[in-house]
């Protein structure tokens, strides 16, 4: 076969269909629309079944821990009567050290059930270790493809450590430099091996996180007798937030606010060789969070099951220095040492708790393990080596890729709000690049996708030369 870049990319949909076992075209209708819920339901596992599978393979049932000392610190700078109780769901206690074990458990279970001999995942982070760990449990071969190095052959400490973890579980690791070759090599390997595509963005991956959302609610009720007021999810590709929200909705009708949090890496291009080693967070940042929210189908499957705009109530960012500071505070004040990427949502929760009453509860949806290259001190040392100035001051002065600013005092730790309506409008704009003629089904789809109403969608469409195949007043 012709294995040039252009030829492989031209047959990517066929490769995807063969490697996942899902015919995505059967869910498409209208011009833009596709039946998301039908796609999720056809995968054939109820929430209870997911939990039983995960329990059998050593995943889930992680503890919910109250961070009493961090709560007290937040209350010390909050208004009287304010400062919600802060809890963390300690997902670092999964076998592979992160919540990604939940997604990997369902991907590997499905691969085994369908008779695949192995699994492949394109990931530079925790998901690679999770897939490798679960593949070992299922007796599957495993290949992890990493975007690891810049053109000088310099790799990020965190990514290099993840390669070691994957190899320890018996996986083969293919390391590449930053750029489009990652997706090309991933497709080529899927085609050559006939292995299962253990993508983060299949229905199986999202389904695996639903158990986490369910546990959050149940654990909180059991420990406190009340529902959480808000759940904060570190947001990258959107699957984490999507699965958590879906699990919560399947468990209770009680309104629980879903808040996404990302590290602010504005100005750093994620596909830039120059910027690659200038970022101190390989995931959980705006370089993934915003592009995947505006265009979720940019992932490694034709239709991503991670659709965060359908579920998110609020989206905030934190600066790098704030997250590193809270990472250290968690260790020093609570005796819990966890990785910085997972603590993005904890940094946000520390700020958000100060807006909430003392009897409210805010839950940080996940933690991740930390060690060697994933440790925040390793990341900071790497930043210094790359010419980044690190100092104490006001985090608002931080310039991604140039400075990391730790808060001089804790009252300087503040979330920055992102306007969801602007993001929703950009999502609609992106969809309109695919078609200028919309049906009623397309309009209904856009309403659901943006979690708005028909008036919001129609007002946005007025700005464009769009042909509507239905009359609206």
CB < 8 Å & 24+ apart, contacts of 159-165: 159/124, 159/125, 159/282, 159/373, 160/373, 161/371, 161/372, 161/373, 161/374, 162/124, 162/125, 162/126, 162/128, 162/129, 162/373, 162/374, 163/128, 165/96, 165/97, 165/128, 165/129, 165/132
Mean pLDDT value of segment 296-304: 89
* pLDDT over threshold 60, residue 127: yes
256-266 per-residue burial string, b: 16 or more CB within 10 A, e: under 16: bebbbbbbbbe
Distance in angstroms (rounded) separating the CA atoms of residues 210 and 470? 36
Q: What is the structure's pLDDT at 471?
A: 62
Fold category of 58-96+204-418 in CATH: Rossmann fold (3.40.50)
Q: Could you tell me how far CA 111 lies from the centroid of its own chain?
A: 22
Q: What is the per-residue pLDDT across 35-78, written as a single tens digit (0 to 9) for each?
A: 999 999 998 799 999 999 999 999 999 999 999 999 999 999 99
Q: What is the structure's pLDDT at 62?
A: 98
Give the chain's mean pLDDT.
Answer: 95
Distance in angstroms (rounded) separating the CA atoms of residues 248 and 251? 5
Mean pLDDT value of segment 196-204: 95
> Cβ contacts of residue 390 below 8 Å, gap of 6+?
321, 380, 383, 384, 403, 404, 405, 406
> Residue 388's CB: how many other CB atoms inside 10 A?
20
From the options 3.40.640.10, 3.40.50.720, 3.60.150.10, 3.40.50.1100, give the CATH code of 5-47+98-203: 3.40.50.1100
At 92, the pLDDT band (50, 70, 90 cuts) reads very high
Q: Are the C-beta atoms of residues 413 and 322 closer than 8 Å to each other?
A: yes
Q: What is the per-residue pLDDT across 364-398, written as a single tens digit (0 to 9) for each?
A: 999 999 988 899 999 999 999 999 999 999 999 99
């Amino acid at each position: 076969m012709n294995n040039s870049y252009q030829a492989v990319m031209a047959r990517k949909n066929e490769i995807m269909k063969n490697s996942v076992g899902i015919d995505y075209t059967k869910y498409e209708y209208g011009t833009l629309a596709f039946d998301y819920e039908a796609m999720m339901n056809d995968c054939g596992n109820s929430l209870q079944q997911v939990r039983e599978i995960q329990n059998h393979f050593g995943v889930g049932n992680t503890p919910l821990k109250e961070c009493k000392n961090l709560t007290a610190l937040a209350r010390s700078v909050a208004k009287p009567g304010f400062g919600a109780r802060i809890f963390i769901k300690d997902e670092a206690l999964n076998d592979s050290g992160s919540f990604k074990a939940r997604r990997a458990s369902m991907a590997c279970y499905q691969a085994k059930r369908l008779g695949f001999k192995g699994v492949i995942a394109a990931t530079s982070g925790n998901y690679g270790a999770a897939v490798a760990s679960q593949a070992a449990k299922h007796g599957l071969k495993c290949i992890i493809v990493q975007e690891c190095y810049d053109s000088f052959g310099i790799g990020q400490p965190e990514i290099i450590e993840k390669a070691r973890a994957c190899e320890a579980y018996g996986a083969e690791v293919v390391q590449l430099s930053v750029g489009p070759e990652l997706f090309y090599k991933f497709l080529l390997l899927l085609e050559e091996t006939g292995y299962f595509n253990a993508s983060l963005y299949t229905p199986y991956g999202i389904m695996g996180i639903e158990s986490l959302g369910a546990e959050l609610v149940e654990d909180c009720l059991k420990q406190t007798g009340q529902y959480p007021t808000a759940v904060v999810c570190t947001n990258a590709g959107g699957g984490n937030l999507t699965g958590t929200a879906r699990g919560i909705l399947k468990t209770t009708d009680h309104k629980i606010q879903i808040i996404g949090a990302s590290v602010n890496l504005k100005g750093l291009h994620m596909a830039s060789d120059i910027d690659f080693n200038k970022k101190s967070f390989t995931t959980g940042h705006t370089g993934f969070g915003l592009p995947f929210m505006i265009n979720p189908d940019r992932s490694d499957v034709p239709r991503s099951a991670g659709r965060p705009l359908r579920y998110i109530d609020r989206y905030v960012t934190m600066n790098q220095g704030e997250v590193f500071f809270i990472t250290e505070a968690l260790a020093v004040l609570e005796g819990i040492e966890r990785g910085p990427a997972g603590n993005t949502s904890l940094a946000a929760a520390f700020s958000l708790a100060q807006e909430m009453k003392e009897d409210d509860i805010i839950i940080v949806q996940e933690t991740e393990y930390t060690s060697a290259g994933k440790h925040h001190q390793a990341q900071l040392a790497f930043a210094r080596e790359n010419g980044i100035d690190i100092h104490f001051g006001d985090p608002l002065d931080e310039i991604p890729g140039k400075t990391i600013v730790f808060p001089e005092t804790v009252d300087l730790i503040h979330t920055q709000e992102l306007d969801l309506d602007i993001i929703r409008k950009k999502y609609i704009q992106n969809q309109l690049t695919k078609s200028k003629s919309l049906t009623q089904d397309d309009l209904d789809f856009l309403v659901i996708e943006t979690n708005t109403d028909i008036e919001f969608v129609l007002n946005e469409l007025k700005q464009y030369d769009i042909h509507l195949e239905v009359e609206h007043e």
